[in-house]
């Protein structure tokens, strides 16, 4: 009996101890879970505070990799590759999508050698296109409202509206056969005997089945075409009327960059007409009738994409040396930049190359390079931007072999306007670069 009592007592004691053990085990697990939850909540709070004051604070997945990355940084022999891709057109680094966030250029396909920015600049530097000196009309589509008709144009047929492509504001010729004309004080007679016309357009995409097709109409006062320039994916077809009213035509192969921005330019001098695509001359007409106004038209095909921007019409250029000897300075509108930035556009290399050649031909020539803006934006912001742009030009000329002691940079901001900043034409004239002879 005693043995039975002892066994029962031991079993009761063991059961009691096991229950207490499991209760303690459950309490410990519960406390651990509560501590873990509290720690996570605290971590989230700290992350939220950190993100509020530090926009570059990494996400969770990046935090988990922070320690090994830090160890790699401590090894001087190893360098971390930069994330994203570098745009071959403008040089912008760190792009992550299919298009460059700076210029809208398409990401180069793997295995294909993309043209370097240097080669793009070189193509323009070798071009014989000479931009005009004085702006008659300019539209970089700044300040326009999405979906509205472009405010600086008149509609002759079809429809057009302001749109956005990869962050860039553009004019979209939405309907087949849409034709627009610039708003001018004398709409039928404003082209001089020497002028240049330029604009950017987005190339088509054969992979997407989308094409582009532009028709530039150069007309006389009666509205009749004296020259038509049709540009598509494969050719530039030009039809013109000679001063003797003879009809002639010329066809040249053309290859706009697919799904990328292209630059078309034409120059007319008394009776000679030249047409350029991305700095390359494709049309050379020695004798055609003088046009007096122009329009831009979209073809009638439904599968075409006609997106354009940065339209500029200027009076014909005077040789740089003649301007320098007459005025003691060179005022140019042909050196352009990305909006609000100091990145020199590739097509500016034509003018920069002319300045460089002028300085090489005249070894004693020295310039103060002045950057000027209009009054859009703040005074301080415009001052800083003009300084950066002037310095960018100096740096480019030095890179091209001009001695640094022959150049100096000065930002003028909006302090020295040439025209009234209350009009579009005035602001266009105030956005300029001046080379002041020292």
Whether residues 141 and 256 fall in one domain: yes
How many whole angstroms separate alpha carbon 207 and alpha carbon 203?
12
Q: What is the pLDDT along the chain (438 residues), one digit of tens a residue?
A: 544 444 445 444 444 444 454 455 445 545 444 554 444 534 443 444 344 334 444 444 443 333 333 333 333 344 444 567 776 555 566 777 766 665 555 676 655 444 555 666 666 667 788 888 889 999 999 889 999 999 999 999 999 999 999 889 999 999 998 999 999 999 999 999 999 999 999 998 888 888 889 999 999 999 999 999 999 989 999 999 999 999 999 999 988 999 999 999 999 999 999 999 998 999 999 999 999 999 999 987 777 889 999 999 999 877 788 888 888 999 999 899 988 899 999 889 989 999 999 999 999 999 999 999 999 999 999 999 999 999 999 999 999 999 999 999 999 999 999 999 998 888 988 999 999 999
CATH code of 312's domain: 2.60.120.200
Could you list the beta-strand ranges (E) of 210-256. Answer: 214-219, 225-231, 235-241, 247-253
Whether residues 332 and 371 fall in one domain: yes
Whether residues 236 and 179 fall in one domain: yes
CATH code of 410's domain: 3.30.1330.60
Final residue of a structural domain among 316, 348, 380? 316
Dig out the tokens for 371 from the structure.
């950057």
Whether residues 231 and 158 fall in one domain: yes
Residue 253 lies in a domain: yes
Angle, vertex CA 107, rays to CA 105 and CA 112, nearest 5: 120
Final residue of a structural domain among 292, 316, 340? 316
143-to-18, 140, 199 alpha-carbon distances in Å: 78, 9, 18
Whether residues 393 and 272 fall in one domain: no
Picking from 320, 231, 244, the residue whose alpha carbon sits closest to that of residue 283 is: 231
Residue 287 lies in a domain: yes
Total structural domains in the chain? 3
- Report helix, strand and coil shares of the chain as percent, to nearest 5: 30, 30, 40
For β-strands 307-315 and 134-139, DSSP reports them as: antiparallel
Residue 66 lies in a domain: no
Which pTM does this prediction carry? Answer: 0.66
- Domain housing 256: 134-316
């Amino acid at each position: 009996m005693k043995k039975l009592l002892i066994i029962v007592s031991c079993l009761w004691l063991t059961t009691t101890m096991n229950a207490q053990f499991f209760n303690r085990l459950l309490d410990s697990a519960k406390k651990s879970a509560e501590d873990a939850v509290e720690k996570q909540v605290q971590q989230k709070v700290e992350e939220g505070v950190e993100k509020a004051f530090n926009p570059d604070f990494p996400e969770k997945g990046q935090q988990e990799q922070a320690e090994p990355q830090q160890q790699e940084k401590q090894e001087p022999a190893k360098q971390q590759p930069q994330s994203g891709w570098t745009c071959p057109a403008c040089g912008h680094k760190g792009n992550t999508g299919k298009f460059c966030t700076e210029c809208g250029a398409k990401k180069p396909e793997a295995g294909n050698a993309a043209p370097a920015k240097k080669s793009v600049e070189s193509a323009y530097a070798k071009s014989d296109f000479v931009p005009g000196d004085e702006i008659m009309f300019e539209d970089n589509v700044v300040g326009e409202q999405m979906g509205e008709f472009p405010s600086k144009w008149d509609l002759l047929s079809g429809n057009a509206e302001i749109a956005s492509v990869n962050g860039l504001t553009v004019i979209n010729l939405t309907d087949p056969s849409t034709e627009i004309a610039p708003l001018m004080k004398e709409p039928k007679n404003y082209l001089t005997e020497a002028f240049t016309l330029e604009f950017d357009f987005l190339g088509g995409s054969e992979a997407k089945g989308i094409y582009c097709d532009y028709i530039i109409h150069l007309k006389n006062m009666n509205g009749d075409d004296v020259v038509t320039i049709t540009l598509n994916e494969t050719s530039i077809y030009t039809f013109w009327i000679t001063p003797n009213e003879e009809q002639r035509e010329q066809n040249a192969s053309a290859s706009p960059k697919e799904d990328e921005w292209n630059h078309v330019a034409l120059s007319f001098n008394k009776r000679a007409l030249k047409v350029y695509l991305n700095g390359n001359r494709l049309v050379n007409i020695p004798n055609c009738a003088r046009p007096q106004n122009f329009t831009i038209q979209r073809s009638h095909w439904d599968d075409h994409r006609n997106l354009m921007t940065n339209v500029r019409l200027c009076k014909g250029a005077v040789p740089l040396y003649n301007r320098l000897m007459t005025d003691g300075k060179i005022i140019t509108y042909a050196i352009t930049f990305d909006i609000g930035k100091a990145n020199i556009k590739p097509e500016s290399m034509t003018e920069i190359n002319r300045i460089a050649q002028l300085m090489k031909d005249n070894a004693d020539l020295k310039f103060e390079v002045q950057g000027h803006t209009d009054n859009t934006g703040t005074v301080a912001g415009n001052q800083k931007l003009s300084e950066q742009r002037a310095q960018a030009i100096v740096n480019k000329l030095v890179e091209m072999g001009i001695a640094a002691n022959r150049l100096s940079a000065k930002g003028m901001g909006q302090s020295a306007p040439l025209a009234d900043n209350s009009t579009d034409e005035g602001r266009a004239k105030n956005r300029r670069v001046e080379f002041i002879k020292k």
